Amino acid sequence: MNLLLLQPEDFREDGTVHLTGRRAAHAREVLRAQEGSSLRVGRRDGQVGRATVLANDVDGLHLDICLESPPPPRAGVTLILAIPRPKALKKVLPAVASLGVDRVFLVNAARVEKSYFDSHVLRPESVETLFGLGLEQARDTVAPELHLRPRFRPFVEDELPGRLDGVPLRLLPHPTAEQPLQALPQRPWGPAALAIGPEGGWVPFEVDLLSRQGFLPVSLGPRILRVEVAVPLLLGQLELLRCG
Amino acid sequence: MNLLLLQPEDFREDGTVHLTGRRAAHAREVLRAQEGSSLRVGRRDGQVGRATVLANDVDGLHLDICLESPPPPRAGVTLILAIPRPKALKKVLPAVASLGVDRVFLVNAARVEKSYFDSHVLRPESVETLFGLGLEQARDTVAPELHLRPRFRPFVEDELPGRLDGVPLRLLPHPTAEQPLQALPQRPWGPAALAIGPEGGWVPFEVDLLSRQGFLPVSLGPRILRVEVAVPLLLGQLELLRCG
């Protein structure tokens, strides 16, 4: 935890915060907070700054808050992800939050199990916890938007065009694509979209539908990667592609 | 598991393999192997190819093996990693094996706990299992070399120069570096080295020692990433840097 993430309801009327539970324990035990200590904090969806410990008693930590800087810039990335199994989702959600991904669409695909949409990992309180871990890690306060889309075709055909209005760079990593991602020319920074298939890959019908929406199939080479490895790798490459 | 990894001792004199345990169970339950099925296999440190199921009985699977292709090319990367906590190591070791990293040096640093070197995760049988998961994932047969170096300074000053002979690109991601990695010019493919510090970062003494060995400090921006997210991100960027 590199930042204590404060929720709007943590703030009292006088602007101070009374911290209890997991965050207070972390501040005391790991950050060794005591009266007078200064801690890095951020307000969910707001600014980041410092907290000064006014009092440290059995009830928790009483903090004076000074928020002064914007959170780190967004990645400028829309991620369309064939819904991973719950165990992988638990790793991917904190990762995409820490990487500053703007929006995540978890979509159905021929080679995923539709039951994944019913996973308890996707309950709102679980998502907030997993995103929170990523935000605290990366010193950010803004989580990705998360959208579940159990119907692939209507999502791609009807919703995606509007969602990706003004997003020129759209990549579709695919094992049988001819063009390696490395061969793409660098370009000036701009918003981008990435459609990452399930482990078995998108089926031809899905590739076709995404291609019609301007997604360019690119090859990542012969290695098949776990989704929690492929996502940061591709986001890193996307960042480098957009610095021409 | 995208490839059944066979150990040299799995092979009988006639070149066939009798598979039992976890791999046989996976072949039957997930890959639905039965007599006549063809399975993707690789021989640890050797070639990859196909296996034909000759018999499927209570003892396991009897396989005829045809190895015909080399495993995927190596990443050409030496990774120097401040030893992560055991929980993170369990994620990082399969990841670096799946990414084809050539060599990993787990080193001590001022901001890591030296006790991590005693973790059971680093016992040889545990390392082989974790690397094996990564190889089966990426359809590879060759794991990274793994070296533990509990003494940072003698490693960097005495051993590293010889180890990195002929490795021109040496990067040191560091939060306070001025040059962003994105600003580096692309270059022709060649071996590279990456020194990734602990979550708290390398201390100035460590940065200084690595800089003297030609490591260029580069910034990754304001986000602090977990090691299991930073490693694939940086390896992806390194791949893109070396395609000029």
Give the rounded percent of residues in chain B with a pLDDT score beyond 90: 88
Checking DSSP bridges between strand B103-107 and strand A77-82, what pairing results, if any?
unpaired
> Is the Cβ pair B235, A233 closer than 8 Å?
yes
Identity at A201, one-letter amino acid code: G
Which residue, chain included where needed, has tokens 């002929």? B166
Nearest to A99 by CA among B200, B97, B219, B220: B220
Domain A4-69 grouped into CATH 2.40.240.20:
yes
**Cβ contact B167:B191 at 8 Å:** yes
The DSSP call for residue A73 is: P
Nearest to B136 by CA among B94, B90, B179, B74: B94
Nearest CA in chain A to B220: A236
> Is the Cβ pair B225, A138 closer than 8 Å?
yes
Nearest CA in chain B to A224: B138
Classify the C-alpha dihedral B57-B59-B64-B70 as positive or negative: positive
Among partner residues B94, B100, B223, which is closest to A98 by beta-carbon distance? B223
Indicate whether B87 pLDDT > 90. Answer: yes
Mean pLDDT, chain B, rounded, equals: 95
Return the pLDDT at A220. 87
Mean pLDDT of B72-87: 97
**Cβ contact A105:A82 at 8 Å:** no
What is the interface pTM, i.e. ipTM, of the complex? Answer: 0.95
> Is the Cβ pair A229, B98 closer than 8 Å?
yes
**Cβ contact B67:B39 at 8 Å:** no
Flag residues of chain A having pLDDT under 50. Answer: none
> Is the Cβ pair A243, B183 closer than 8 Å?
yes
Q: What tokens were used for A105?
A: 């669409």
For residue A148, how many other CB atoms are within 10 A of its CB? Answer: 14
pLDDT in tens, A15-66: 999 999 989 999 999 889 999 999 999 999 999 999 999 999 888 999 999 9
Q: Give CA–CA dist A91/A111, Å, rounded.
A: 20
Return the pLDDT at A175. 83
Mean pLDDT of B172-186: 89
Return the pLDDT at A71. 98
pLDDT in tens, B106-135: 999 999 999 999 999 999 999 999 999 999
Mean pLDDT of B24-34: 91
For the entire predicted model, the pTM comes to 0.96
Among partner residues B2, B72, B95, which is closest to A221 by beta-carbon distance? B72
Return the pLDDT at B226. 96
> Is the Cβ pair A223, B91 closer than 8 Å?
no
Half-sphere exposure of B18 (CA within 13 A, CB side): 7
**Cβ contact B189:B167 at 8 Å:** no
A-facing residues of B in 108-127 (CB < 8 A) are none
Strand order in the sheet with A192-196: A145-149, A103-107, A77-82, A192-196, A169-173, A216-218
Superfamily of B77-241 according to CATH: SPOUT methyltransferase, trefoil knot domain (3.40.1280.10)
Element (H or E) spanning B163, and its range? helix B160-163
Return the pLDDT at A59. 85
Q: Which residues of B touch A139 (CB under 8 A)?
A: 222-224
Return the pLDDT at B58. 86
Question: Best interface-test mutation with B: which of A74, A223, A227, A237 has the largest number of B CBs within 10 A?
Answer: A223
Residue A166 burial (CB < 10 Å; 0-12/13-18/19+)? Answer: exposed
Q: Rg for chain B (alpha carbons), in Å?
A: 20
Domain ranges of chain A: 4-69, 77-241
Mean pLDDT of B40-50: 97
Return the pLDDT at B243. 81
Return the pLDDT at A105. 98
Identity at B67, one-letter amino acid code: L
Indicate whether B149 pLDDT > 80. Answer: yes
